[in-house]
Amino acid sequence: MTQLEVAYRYGRSPRESEMRAIDNIREVYGVRRITFDEKQRIVRVEFDASRFKDPVVAGLLRRAGLDIEEKLVLA
């Protein structure tokens, strides 16, 4: 198992229905953790890279309704 973390900046703050959908992403096998920095509008997702890649993570977030603007480079 290879753990990776990806971060995305989002635009509009998620509403309650979107947060419920994002909470369901935690049930996807391979997603370990989802955290939000509401002040900077950044969502971080820790996932198992042997299961899927970061474009899949972005797709899951977008389908949940999160307004993804850009992928951030983690130092």
Task: Supply the pTM of this predicted model.
Answer: 0.91
Question: What is the edge-to-edge ordering of all strands in the sheet holding 31-37?
Answer: 31-37, 42-48, 3-10, 68-72
Class of domain 3-72: alpha beta
Q: What is the mean pLDDT of residues 14-42?
A: 95
Q: What is the pLDDT of residues 40-59, one digit of tens each?
A: 999 999 999 999 999 999 99
Helix, strand, coil % over all residues of the chain, rounded to 5: 25, 35, 35
Per-residue confidence (pLDDT) for residue 1, from 0 to 100: 77
CB 34 within 8 A of CB 47: no
